[in-house]
């Protein structure tokens, strides 16, 4: 049944319809959250259905699309769109995009729940959130460069608004910085896409078709295009030294915005690298390996060191994202199956973990009125559940085994050692620093005596709409921490296909 | 029976789940103590069955059921269980001490009220993952549980998180051990690369060992031992353990004396098949062990906190075990005997019992007095008869006075080190350090005992003997502390337990009867050296701390004073770490943060500012005077003409 | 026959004079006249080139002449509109000195 | 020949009767509808021909081929007429208090006539005449609000700079006539080459002519440094007329430049391509930089128009068919998005709201429709997908990349780089308007949308969205149009 309907298009369309419905509510704006929940939940449920079909019944799900299946894509849809430029509407899902796709629908739904008490312009808020979901979902399923770029850019606008309207005190600065900085990066990617299109000269923007040609590009051309793409995707990732938009955007964004920003938008960068840049430009990627590796290690270390200095809980989490996404790039830079799979998994893991962290920062902000560690202290006594959840989040993020990040980090380290030997110790320093800043923050904010600088008398523990999403995420963190192969086994074959150009890794 | 060994951690884990997830109203049963005791006892029974099976000669080394955790590229990581004699020793320690501590907690933690629930949940989780660590059949699985016991240690040290010192100590413990963990992980990864598997069966097999180049083997084993340095609080990463005493005393007894800190020793012992391939690492292990034993013992001489004395004593004894393992490796390689290896494990077991006993006694004292400071105690012996007597048993045991357990194992350890001197004379030095440590151990233990129980009270308190729930475990442990040393005579000098697990590594047939062993020990003059020194230490402590009239102020002046201050400041090592963390790492992070904001972000903002600014300048050209506009047109025209006539044809682009 | 260079120099000079006037004179009417001079310099060029090409190719090339006629008509229309605009400016500003008309700037 | 001129004749005819009609109708809105009649008819005919192929225009076969109806002229004419429709539609409310409204519409019709003539022209004479018809009409239009000081000043400046530039254009044309001996655009190239080989030193005369032509037409399209009039005029002129100038008049310059540079003097391309490339880059950069510091929205849009001219100018150095198609496409989309943006400003002016950026505060609440429309126009101008501006910029910039790919000259890729960087730069000031509208608090009272202006905005909005999402047919048209332009190269 499912193979007869364009399920992916449907899932992308659902939040869009939801967004329109939400924006058109008129005066009944209190209904906006229900609309948003309904549509995001519907998208989530359908994406679970897709996952089920993908895993259980791979052949029938791609029936009739022999071509699509050979490249590992399922639910393949292809329609002509702009014939004169060879732009097609192509969507498909493989093992790399599937986890991120489901992560997207999940996090969007949970973010809607988390924002349950939003009373400021709810129509727009939930509408924009759904538009954001459309963009992100589109990026993860698009198999045509033009489409990919369009969805990529669609993401910017709702995010700009989410930061700019519902953000913190410096929202103006943060919103415009986010918008323009990431837009510049997108444009670099756009130039790279153009170059690939014309150099391939086969009159189509289809990713697979171009990849079939681009692997034969001259070395210099591959290098140039890859460099542009690395910049384009790297800013989103974000990689040092193009990361400074991130702390500002994260700190000022509303909680749900931060969750989606860190949980999903950053993943777009990592996804783009492995979906587009690396498989299509093998020689360029090989030439850029030192650059990628150095940047990755720098991001990991630098991000971690910066975290130590932060007094704002959310800013610390933001910088930690830089550090953790560095592992993605580091995994990729090995250009081996092990490292790349680990990098993809790290994206998935980071998406789950960082969502928890940002949600908990939101809870702290919400309940205490501040996120400054120096003002907090001893919260565990008043908010035991919140403290427990935040501690689990921190522990997951610092790579505690049994939780989801560990498998990714371990495999990245393994891949790095396999490739470069003892350089492994450089990124490994960050593991200790990571533990240091998380635990130190935990000590100062949650433990110890109360500082008396905030009103602790009326302090409440988490509300249901805050606790439920976090709890769901933590369950998943534990589940995929104990059974990472649930995801690894999907990523592996897809990455193997993606790395075919490297001669079997 | 062995195939059911995986059930051992399941019992406490179920207890953990029940305690943490049951609704508040349904839970009670003294807020979870009942579930905890049930979980621990279940595991104890199963462990006993498994140990029995092992004693009967059955092992499961690589032939048990496996669960594929991860397949990636051509690599496969499987999880499974591994039960041999070494596992059995650890199972014995964890199950016995674990159960007794949980029972003891029923009394000790009684006043904590609601917090008990968290306590029992965390203790159960710890016991569960500790079992998991012990029965792991590969390094990665072991590492996972290794980190999880670290987590539980962190949580339990920080049990009274309102106390800033407790919160800080918990953090320090986790971070410092993490440094070791990183090395452990690096070591694992090195092996992973060359062998392509992390299972002990593959790594320890001939193919596995042959696959690793020699220099990488040295590095990998040294790094894995690095994990042990962190977890077992070896020099220079030992300072977290005294701080960890901020946790409840039961936690100190269970985690920071009997079980978790032994994980490092266990890991080193487990890696023996690899270590013997790298004698350089073995020497490193031995030196670290010897240095740790000596340094920790010196600090214990001057400590005034009863738990810190025990903590440093623990470090010192762990140093003994490590030293023995290092020396034992030499013996395996060059003398074809498992003597040192067995000694280390023998000491591990004995130490677990008597040190848990000592800690629990200290807990009983603290429970009664309400302070840790021995300078405020005194004269407790009459009021707390059971505690004082059981603690005396523990003190004698650790001091190495026959026939209590400590004597036998310590003697075996020192003998092994001395024997290894035959192959590398450095071991003689280490042996001397061991002997010195033995003397100091006896001294500070009795210093502690005398300061606590002898003399008159030095402050106001109304001490009373602890409840049955606490004293019964003390008595059981006292019995064990007395008797566990006799395991030496059960079979081949503890060989049934330990040596067998590395049977493939040496060829020396080494069957001794109990009489032989006794003759062997007491026929060796070195035995008497250590014995005499131990008794001298006790007598000296008695002279200084028990007999009234000794002027202790001589320690506070002159060279002795400087020495004492250095000891009281823990050789300034802790201070060095603090300074390093604050003045180097944190300061560096502040500099980096400023750099990030000023330079990197400054560049970004600078470009933005430049854009806005240059726009502002350029617009000034727009004066509103139309003749200015036409003038600019003409100037532009001329420039364009010049460009096209003279510059563009040059083709410089 | 006058050499073509002379004509060219003449028209160019005329053009420059016109341009100079546009750039420097304040009175808008004078500026208008200068623009007319510039247009006429081009007319001279057109007529001159037309006859030049007729000579060169041996056939009469009328396009230059035709163009000139069109240009004259256009210039007339332009002047008409220009004067009307100046009139309306004078109503609002009470001046036609163009450097005074500068509220629109930056 | 007469057949081909039918639409222009029709437009002129209506232009002539409009002032008379002014005395006859009471409700002046009827004037707009009358003026729209020929425009709509022309637009319909053009659309059904160029996009649908339902109809074929009569071909010009007899007489001097001064004009040619082909897809290139059709596409441009379509853009001009569309802008004319939008402007005419939104004018009645804007000029409701002015006298002589009939003249206003007749001037608009004349301006459109002039522009379409430029689009049709194949001869320099016709081209110049068309330029002047449109120019003179727009001089008058920009001064139409006679009560406004600013309007009069704008007209004066426009007129003086415009006259100066016309003179330069004419002088340049006369020189071209001199070096080629023909005024027929397609014939210029070969004749010039013949002259170059026979007469010494004449090539530098051609260079001088080229420079003066760049200056003269650069005025029309407002290329730096010939742009200085544009902000003043756009600010001072009645807002719908600003829209007309930015969206149509400027494109007339583009049409003329395409014809002369890509057909007429393409033989000397090596002489001018770098110069124009430099002008293009400088134009877009300066336009965007100054736009950032503007606080008047019309002035800001003027500078944004300057920048857009820079984008389109890159077509000339690239010169491939695909590039011309991109330029054409951008002309079309820019016509809609820029005129749409100006009409939003016009609508607000009608409701008594000023033109300053701060007047836009809280517009999102006061008039969701106008704010949304403005946002989409601005985002489209910035080149954010999936709006029309993105699609056309995509084609435009990609043509630079295309041409720079081996064996093309690789420096062309820097034009694309400059273009995208400038797009990012432009986002800054567009986003600032969006921020004012949605993120800042302003007055609370609602703003109703003027009906006819609203209709004009809807047209532009629909086009901006449709051309962004499904632009296949239009792009195909642009490619064929570009083909028909470049076909003329002998």
Asked if B605 reaches chain C (Cβ–Cβ under 8 Å), the answer is: no
Mean pLDDT for the stretch of residues D190-204: 84
Residue A197 at interface with chain D, using a CB cutoff of 8 Å: yes
Q: Given pLDDT bands bounded at 50, 70 and 90, which one contains residue D61?
A: low
Mean pLDDT value across chain B: 85
Q: Which residues contact A365 (CB under 8 A, 6 or more apart)?
A: A255, A314, A371
pLDDT at residue A69, as a whole number:
45
Element (H or E) spanning D479, and its range? helix D472-487
Distance (Å, rounded) from C-alpha D249 to C-alpha D156?
Answer: 17
Q: Contact, B570 vs B239, CB < 8 A?
A: yes
d(CA A236, CA A269): 5
Q: Are residues B165 and B245 in the same domain?
A: yes
CA A457 to chain centre: 37
Q: Which of B71, B73, B215, B263 to mutate: most A Cβ within 10 Å?
A: B73
Which residues from C are below 8 Å from D174, CB to CB?
11, 42-43, 45-46, 49, 64, 67
Residues 6+ apart with CB under 8 A from D33: none
Which chain D positions have a beta carbon within 8 Å of A150's beta carbon?
Answer: 385-386, 390
Q: At residue B522, does pLDDT exceed 70?
A: yes
Report pLDDT for B225: 92
Number of structural domains chain A divides into: 1
What is the per-residue pLDDT across B271-310, written as a single tens digit (0 to 9) for each?
888 888 888 898 999 999 999 999 899 888 888 888 888 9
Residues from chain A contacting residue D402 (CB–CB below 8 Å) = 194, 198
Cβ-in-10-Å burial (0-12, 13-18, 19+) of B163 comes to middle
pLDDT for A112: 93
Segment A453-480, tens digit of pLDDT: 777 777 788 888 888 999 999 999 999 9
Q: Are D441 and D299 in contact (CB under 8 A)?
A: no
The DSSP annotation for B209-231 comes to HHHS-HHHHHHHHHHHHHHHHHH
Give residue D2's pLDDT.
60
Integer Cα distance of B400 and B485 in angstroms: 11
Is the Cβ–Cβ distance between A148 and A142 less than 8 Å?
yes
| Contacts for B423 with CB less than 8 Å, ≥ 6 apart | B330, B333, B334, B335
Instruction: Give the three-state DSSP class for A169.
Output: coil
B621 and C CB contact within 8 Å: no
Inspect the interface and report whether the beta carbons of B627 and C103 lie closer than 8 Å. Answer: no
B625: chain C residues, CB-CB within 8 Å: 98-99, 102, 105
End-to-end alpha carbon distance in chain C: 53
Give CA–CA dist A379/A373, Å, rounded: 11
Long-range contacts of A174-177 (CB under 8 A, 24+ apart): A174/A248, A174/A249, A174/A251, A174/A252, A174/A253, A175/A249, A175/A252, A175/D435, A175/D439, A176/D428, A176/D431, A176/D432, A176/D435, A177/A244, A177/A245, A177/A248, A177/A249, A177/B604, A177/B608
Q: Counting one residue from A and one from D, how many pairs have CB atoms under 8 Å apart?
A: 86
The secondary element (H helix, E strand) that includes residue B53 is: helix B33-55
Task: Tell whether B633 lies on the interface with D, counting CB pairs under 8 A.
Answer: yes
Find the helix or strand (DSSP H, E) in which A80 lies.
strand A74-82
Q: Where among B521, B549, B568 does a domain terminate?
A: B568
Work out the angle at residue A241's Cα, subtended by the Cα atoms of residues A238 and A247, and round it to the nearest 5 degrees: 55
**Cβ atoms B416, B354 nearer than 8 A:** no
Q: How many CB atoms lie within 10 A of CB A497?
A: 17
Q: What is the DSSP string of D369-387?
A: HHHHHHHHHHHHHHT-TTS
Which chains, if any, share at least 3 CB pairs under 8 A with chain C? B, D
Please indicate if any CB of chain C lies within 8 Å of the CB of D153: yes
Domain enclosing residue B372, as ranges? 2-568
B591 and chain D in contact, CB less than 8 A: no
- φ, ψ of residue B425 to 5 degrees: the values are -65, -10
Nearest to D431 among A81, A179, A194 (CB): A179
Q: What is the ipTM of this complex?
A: 0.90
Query: What are the boundaries of each domain within chain D?
Result: 2-487
Choose the weakest-confidence range: A238-242, A286-290, B19-23, D214-218.
Answer: B19-23
Q: Which two tokens stand for residue D19?
A: 């002032």
Cα(B209)–Cα(B275) distance, integer angstroms: 10
Q: How far apart are CA A8 and CA A14, in angstroms?
A: 10
* pLDDT tier, B116 (very low <50, low <70, confident <90, very high otherwise): confident
Q: Which residues of C touch B618 (CB under 8 A)?
A: none
Closest to C61 (Cβ–Cβ): which among D170, D181, D235?
D181
Residue B107 is predicted with a pLDDT of 81
Question: Above 80 in pLDDT, residue B35?
Answer: yes
Residue A68 has pLDDT above 60, yes or no: no
B556 and B627 inside one domain: no
- The pair phi, psi for residue B135, each rounded to 5°, is -100, 10
Chain B residues with CB-CB distance to D228 below 8 A:
621-622, 628-629, 632-633
Mean pLDDT along residues A54-69: 55
pLDDT of residue C1: 65
C28 chain-B contacts, CB cut-off 8 A:
none
Whether B479 and B588 share a structural domain: no
Higher pLDDT, A438 or B513: A438
C24 touches chain D (CB under 8 A): no
Cα(A235)–Cα(A299) distance, integer angstroms: 12
Å from D288 to nearest chain B CA?
8
Same domain? For B553 and B618 the reply is no
Mean pLDDT, to the nearest integer, of B428-454?
89
Which has more confidence, B289 or B375?
A: B289
Flag if A81 and D424 touch (Cβ within 8 Å).
no
C-alpha–C-alpha distance, residues B556 and D274, integer Å: 88
* Cβ neighbours of B611 (radius 10 Å): 19
- Shortest distance between the Cα of A429 and any Cα of chain B, in A, equals 8
- Do residues A504 and B72 touch, judged by C-beta distance below 8 A? no
Task: Determine the Cα–Cα distance for residues B216 and B220; give it in Å rounded to an integer.
Answer: 6
DSSP letters for D378-437:
HHHHHT-TTSHHHHHHHHHHHHHHHHHSTTS-GGGHHHHHHHHHHHHHHHHHHHHHHHHH
pLDDT at A65: 44
Q: Out of B568, B599, B617, pick the residue that ends a domain.
A: B568
- Is the pLDDT assigned to residue D109 strictly greater than 90? yes
Q: Mean of the pLDDT values across residues A37-56?
A: 90
List subunits contacting chain D, requiring 3 or more Cβ pairs under 8 Å. Answer: A, B, C
Count of domains for chain B: 2
Record: contact B590-A400, CB cut-off 8 A: no
Residue appearing with tokens 């093309």: D408
Q: Note the pLDDT of residue A505.
A: 40
Choose between A337 and B455: higher pLDDT.
A337
The whole-chain average pLDDT of chain A stands at 88
pLDDT value, residue A71: 67
- pLDDT over 90, % of chain D: 61
pLDDT of residue A487: 87
Give the Cα separation of B493 and B487 in Å (integer).
8
CA B312 to chain centre: 12
DSSP helix/strand/coil, D26? coil
**Of the options 1.10.287.3510, 1.10.3720.10, 1.10.357.140, 2.40.70.10, the CATH number for the domain spanning C4-94:** 1.10.287.3510
Q: Tell me which chain B residue has its CA closest to the CA of residue A495.
A: B73
pLDDT at B73 over 80: no
Query: What is the β-pairing status of strands B75-80 and B66-72?
Result: antiparallel
Domain boundaries, chain C: 4-94
Residue B65: predicted pLDDT: 81
Average pLDDT of D78-102? 90
Check: CB of residue D225 under 8 Å from CB of residue D294. no
Is the pLDDT score of A70 beyond 60?
A: no
Name, in order, each residue with C-beta under 8 angstroms of A276's C-beta and a sequence gap of 6 or more. A145, A148, A207, A229, A233
C-beta separation of D107 from D141 below 8 A: yes
Pick the last residue of a domain from B519, B542, B568.
Answer: B568
The Cα-based distances of A283 to A205, A222, A237, D274 in angstroms read: 21, 6, 22, 33
DSSP letters of B113-165?
TTHHHHHHHHHHHHHHHHHHHHTBSBHHHHHHHHHHHHHHHHHHHGGGTTSHH
Amino acid A58: pLDDT: 66
> In angstroms, how far is CA A263 from the centroid of its own chain?
4
Pair D43, D78: CB distance under 8 Å: yes
The pLDDT assigned to A61 comes to 43
Please check whether residues B150 and B286 belong to one and the same domain: yes
Q: Do D228 and B637 touch (CB under 8 A)?
A: no
**Residue in D88, D108, D100 with CA at minimum distance from that of residue D23:** D100
Q: Clarify whether residues B560 and B644 are in a common domain.
A: no
Indicate the residue of C23, C102, C104 with minimum beta-carbon distance to B630.
C23
Write out chain D residues lying below 8 Å of A156, CB-based: 384
pLDDT bracket for residue A62 (50, 70, 90): very low
Chain A CB within 8 Å of residue B164 CB: yes
Range of the domain at A433: 2-502
Integer CA distances (angstroms), C37 to C13, C14, C40, D117, in order: 10, 7, 5, 26
Centre a 10 Å sphere on the Cβ of residue B641 and count the other Cβ atoms it contains. 19
Distance between CA B218 and CA D178 in Å, rounded?
Answer: 89
CB contact under 8 A, C22 and B620: no
- For A300-317, write each residue's pLDDT tens digit: 999 999 999 998 999 999
Contact B10, B48 (CB under 8 A): no
Tell me whether C91 touches chain B (CB under 8 Å).
Answer: no
Distance (Å) from the alpha carbon of D383 to chain A's nearest alpha carbon: 10
- For residues B439 and B464, membership in a common domain is answered with yes
Backbone angles phi, psi at C27, to 5 degrees: -70, 125
pLDDT digits (tens, 9 = 90+) for D373-400: 999 999 999 999 889 999 999 999 999 9
Give the Cα separation of B376 and A7 in Å (integer): 75
Claim to verify: residue B561 and residue B603 sit in the same structural domain: no
Shared domain for B356 and B424, answered yes or no, is: yes
What is the b/e burial string over D196-212, where b = at least 16 CB atoms within 10 angstroms of the residue's CB?
beeeeebeebbbbbbbb
DSSP secondary structure, B272-288, as one string: HHHHTT-HHHHHHHHHH
Q: What is the DSSP letter of A87?
A: E
pTM of the complete model = 0.91
Chain B: give the shortest CA distance to residue D490, in Å: 25
Q: What whole-number distance in Å separates Cα of residue B386 and Cα of residue B472?
A: 9
Phi, psi of D386 (to 5 degrees): -100, 55
Say if residue B555 is in the same domain as residue B582. Answer: no
Work out the pLDDT band at A444, boundaries 50, 70, 90.
confident
């Amino acid at each position: 049944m499912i193979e007869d309907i364009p399920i992916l298009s449907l899932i992308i369309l659902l939040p869009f319809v939801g967004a329109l419905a939400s924006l058109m509510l008129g005066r009944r704006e209190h209904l906006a959250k229900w609309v948003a929940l309904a549509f995001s939940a519907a998208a989530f449920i359908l994406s679970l259905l897709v996952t089920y079909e993908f895993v259980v019944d791979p052949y029938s799900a791609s029936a009739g699309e022999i071509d699509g299946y050979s490249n590992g894509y399922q639910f393949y849809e292809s329609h002509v769109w702009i014939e004169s430029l060879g732009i097609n509407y192509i969507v498909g899902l493989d093992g790399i995009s599937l986890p991120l796709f489901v992560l997207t629908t999940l996090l969007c739904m949970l973010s809607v729940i988390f924002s349950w008490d939003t009373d400021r312009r709810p129509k727009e808020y939930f509408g924009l959130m759904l538009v954001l979901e459309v963009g992100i979902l589109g990026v993860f399923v698009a198999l045509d460069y033009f489409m990919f770029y369009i969805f990529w850019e669609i993401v910017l606008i709702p995010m700009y608004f989410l930061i700019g309207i519902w953000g913190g005190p410096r929202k103006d600065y943060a919103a415009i910085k986010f918008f323009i900085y990431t837009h510049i990066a997108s444009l670099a990617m756009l130039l790279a896409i153009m170059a690939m299109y014309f150099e391939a000269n086969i009159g189509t923007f289809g990713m697979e078709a171009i990849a079939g040609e681009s692997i034969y590009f001259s070395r210099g051309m591959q290098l140039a295009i890859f460099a542009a793409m690395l910049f384009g995707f790297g800013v989103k990732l974000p990689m040092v030294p193009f990361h400074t938009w991130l702390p500002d955007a994260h700190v000022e964004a509303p909680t749900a915005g931060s969750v989606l920003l860190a949980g999903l938008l950053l993943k777009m960068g990592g996804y783009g690298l492995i979906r587009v840049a690396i498989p299509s430009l093998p020689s360029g990627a090989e030439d850029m390996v030192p650059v990628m590796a150095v940047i990755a290690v720098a991001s990991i270390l630098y991000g971690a060191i910066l975290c130590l200095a932060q007094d704002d809980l959310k800013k610390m989490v933001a910088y930690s994202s830089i550090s953790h996404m560095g592992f993605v790039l580091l995994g990729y830079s090995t250009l081996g199956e092990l490292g790349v799979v680990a990098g993809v998994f790290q994206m998935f893991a980071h998406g789950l973990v960082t969502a928890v962290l940002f949600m908990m920062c939101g809870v702290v902000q919400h309940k205490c009125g501040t996120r400054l560690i120096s003002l907090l202290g001893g919260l565990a006594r008043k908010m035991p559940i919140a403290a427990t959840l935040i501690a689990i989040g921190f522990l997951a993020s610092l790579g505690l085994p049994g939780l989801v990040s560990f498998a990714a980090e371990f495999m990245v380290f393994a891949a790095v050692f396999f490739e470069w030997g003892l350089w492994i110790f450089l990124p490994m320093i960050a593991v200790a620093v990571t533990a240091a800043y998380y635990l130190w923050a935990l000590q100062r904010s949650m433990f110890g005596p109360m500082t008396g600088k905030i009103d602790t008398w009326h302090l409440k523990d988490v509300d249901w709409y805050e606790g439920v999403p976090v709890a769901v995420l933590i369950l998943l963190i534990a589940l995929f921490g104990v059974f990472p192969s649930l995801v690894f086994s999907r990523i592996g074959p897809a990455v193997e296909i993606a790395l075919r150009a490297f001669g079997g890794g | 029976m062995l195939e059911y060994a995986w059930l051992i951690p399941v019992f406490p884990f179920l207890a953990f789940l029940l305690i943490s997830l049951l609704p508040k109203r349904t839970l009670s049963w003294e807020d979870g103590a009942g579930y905890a005791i049930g979980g621990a006892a279940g595991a104890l029974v199963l462990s006993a069955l498994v140990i029995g099976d092992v004693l009967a000669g059955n092992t499961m080394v690589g032939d048990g059921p496996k669960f594929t955790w991860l397949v990636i590229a051509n690599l496969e990581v499987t999880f499974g269980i591994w039960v041999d004699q070494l596992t059995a020793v650890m199972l014995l320690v964890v199950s016995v001490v674990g159960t007794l501590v949980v029972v003891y907690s029923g009394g000790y933690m009684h006043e904590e009220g609601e917090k008990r629930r968290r306590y029992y949940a965390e203790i159960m989780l710890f016991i569960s993952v500790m079992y998991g660590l012990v029965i792991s059949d590969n390094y990665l699985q072991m590492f996972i549980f290794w980190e999880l016991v670290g987590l539980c240690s962190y949580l339990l040290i920080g049990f009274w998180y309102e106390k800033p010192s407790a919160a800080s100590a918990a953090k320090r413990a986790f971070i410092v051990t993490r440094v070791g963990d990183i090395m452990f992980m690096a070591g694992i990864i090195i092996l992973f690369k060359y062998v392509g598997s992390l299972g002990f069966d593959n790594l320890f097999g001939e193919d596995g060992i042959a696959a690793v180049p020699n220099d990488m083997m040295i590095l990998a084993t040294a790094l894995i031992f690095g994990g042990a340095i962190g977890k077992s609080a070896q020099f220079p990463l030992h300072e977290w353990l005294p701080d960890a005493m901020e946790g409840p005393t039961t936690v100190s007894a269970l985690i920071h004396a009997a079980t978790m800190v032994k994980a490092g020793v266990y890991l080193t012992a487990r890696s023996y098949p690899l270590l013997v391939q790298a004698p350089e690492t073995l020497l490193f292990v031995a030196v670290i062990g010897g240095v740790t034993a000596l340094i920790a013992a010196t600090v214990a001489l001057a400590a005034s906190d009863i738990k810190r004395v025990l903590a440093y004593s623990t470090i010192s004894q762990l140093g003994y075990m490590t030293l023995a393992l290092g020396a034992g490796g030499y013996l395996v390689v060059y003398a074809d005997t498992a003597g040192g290896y067995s000694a280390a494990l023998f000491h591990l077991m004995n130490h677990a019992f008597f040190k848990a006993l000592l800690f629990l006694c200290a807990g009983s004292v603290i429970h009664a007095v309400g302070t840790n400071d021995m300078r405020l105690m005194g004269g407790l012996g009459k009021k707390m008869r059971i505690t004082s007597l059981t603690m005396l048993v523990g003190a004698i045991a650790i001091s190495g006075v026959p026939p209590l357990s400590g004597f036998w194992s310590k003697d075996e350890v020192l003998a092994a080190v001395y024997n290894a001197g035959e192959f590398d004379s450095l071991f003689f030095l280490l042996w001397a350090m061991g002997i010195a440590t033995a003397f100091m151990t006896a001294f500070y233990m009795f210093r502690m005992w005398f300061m606590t129980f002898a003399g008159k009270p030095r402050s106001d308190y109304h001490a009373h003997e602890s409840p049955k729930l606490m004293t019964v475990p003390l008595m059981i442990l006292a019995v064990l502390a007395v008797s566990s040393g006799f395991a030496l005579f059960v079979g081949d000098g503890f060989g049934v337990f330990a040596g067998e697990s590395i049977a493939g590594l040496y060829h020396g047939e080494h069957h001794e009867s109990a009489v032989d062993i006794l003759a062997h020990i007491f026929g060796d003059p070195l035995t008497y050296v250590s014995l005499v020194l131990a008794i001298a230490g006790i007598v000296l402590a008695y002279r200084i701390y028990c007999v009234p009239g000794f002027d202790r102020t001589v320690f506070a002046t002159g060279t002795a004073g400087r020495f004492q201050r250095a000891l009281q400041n823990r050789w300034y090592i802790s201070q060095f770490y603090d300074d390093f963390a604050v003045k180097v790492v944190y300061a560096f992070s502040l500099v980096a943060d400023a750099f990030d904001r000023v330079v990197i972000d400054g560049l970004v903002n600078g470009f933005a500012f430049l854009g806005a600014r240059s726009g502002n300048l350029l617009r000034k050209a727009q004066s509103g005077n139309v003749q200015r506009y036409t003038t600019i047109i003409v100037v532009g025209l001329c420039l364009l003409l010049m460009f096209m006539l003279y510059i563009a044809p040059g083709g410089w682009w | 026959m006058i050499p073509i260079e002379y004509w060219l120099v003449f028209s160019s000079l005329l053009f420059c004079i016109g341009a100079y006037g546009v750039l420097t004179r304040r009175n808008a009417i004078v500026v208008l006249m200068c623009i007319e001079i510039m247009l006429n310099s081009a007319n001279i060029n057109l007529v001159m080139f037309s006859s030049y090409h007729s000579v060169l190719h041996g056939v009469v090339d009328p396009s230059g002449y035709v163009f000139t006629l069109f240009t004259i008509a256009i210039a007339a229309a332009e002047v008409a509109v220009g004067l009307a605009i100046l009139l309306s400016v004078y109503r609002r500003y009470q001046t036609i000195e163009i450097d005074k008309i500068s509220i629109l700037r930056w | 020949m007469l057949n081909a001129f039918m639409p222009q004749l029709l437009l002129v005819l209506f232009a002539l009767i409009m002032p008379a009609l002014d005395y006859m109708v009471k409700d002046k809105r009827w004037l707009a509808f009358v003026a729209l009649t020929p425009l709509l008819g022309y637009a319909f005919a053009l659309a059904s021909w160029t996009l649908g192929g339902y109809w074929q225009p009569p071909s010009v076969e007899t007489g001097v081929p001064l004009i040619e109806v082909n897809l290139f002229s059709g596409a441009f004419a379509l853009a001009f007429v569309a802008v004319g429709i939008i402007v005419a539609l939104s004018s009645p409310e804007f000029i409701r208090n002015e006298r002589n409204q009939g003249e206003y519409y007749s001037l608009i019709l004349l301006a459109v006539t002039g522009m379409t003539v430029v689009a049709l022209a194949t001869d320099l004479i016709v081209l110049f005449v068309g330029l002047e018809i449109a120019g003179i009409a727009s001089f008058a239009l920009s001064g139409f609000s006679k009560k406004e000081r600013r309007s009069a000043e704008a007209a004066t400046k426009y007129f003086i700079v415009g006259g100066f530039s016309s003179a330069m254009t004419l002088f340049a044309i006369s020189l071209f006539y001199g070096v080629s001996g023909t005024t027929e655009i397609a014939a210029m190239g070969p004749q010039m080459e013949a002259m170059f080989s026979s007469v010494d030193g004449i090539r530098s005369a051609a260079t001088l002519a080229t420079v003066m032509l760049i200056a003269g037409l650069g005025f029309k399209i407002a290329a730096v440094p010939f742009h200085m009039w544009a902000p003043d005029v756009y600010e001072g002129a009645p807002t719908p007329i600003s829209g007309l100038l930015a969206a149509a008049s400027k494109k007339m310059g583009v049409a003329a430049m395409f014809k002369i540079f890509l057909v007429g003097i393409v033989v000397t391309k090596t002489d001018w391509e770098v110069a124009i490339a430099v002008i293009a880059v400088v134009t877009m950069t300066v336009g965007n930089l100054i736009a950032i510091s503007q606080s008047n929205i019309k002035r800001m849009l003027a500078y944004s128009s300057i920048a857009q001219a820079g984008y389109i100018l890159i077509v000339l150095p690239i010169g491939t068919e695909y590039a011309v198609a991109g330029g054409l496409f951008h002309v079309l989309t820019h016509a809609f998005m820029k005129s749409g943006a100006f009409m939003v400003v016009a609508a607000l002016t009608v409701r008594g709201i000023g033109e300053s950026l701060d007047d836009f505060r809280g517009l999102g609440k006061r008039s969701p429709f106008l704010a949304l429309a403005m946002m989409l126009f601005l985002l489209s101008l910035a080149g954010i997908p999936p709006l029309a501006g993105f699609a056309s910029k995509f084609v435009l910039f990609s043509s630079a990349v295309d041409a720079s790919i081996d064996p093309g000259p690789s420096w062309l890729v820097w034009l694309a780089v400059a273009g995208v960087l400038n797009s990012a730069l432009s986002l800054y000031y567009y986003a600032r308007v969006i921020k004012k509208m949605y993120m800042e608090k302003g007055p609370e009272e609602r703003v109703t949308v003027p009906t006819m202006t609203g209709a004009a905005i809807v047209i532009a909005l629909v086009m901006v969205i449709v051309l962004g999402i499904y632009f296949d047919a239009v792009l195909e048209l642009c490619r064929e149009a570009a083909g028909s332009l470049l076909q003329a190269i002998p």
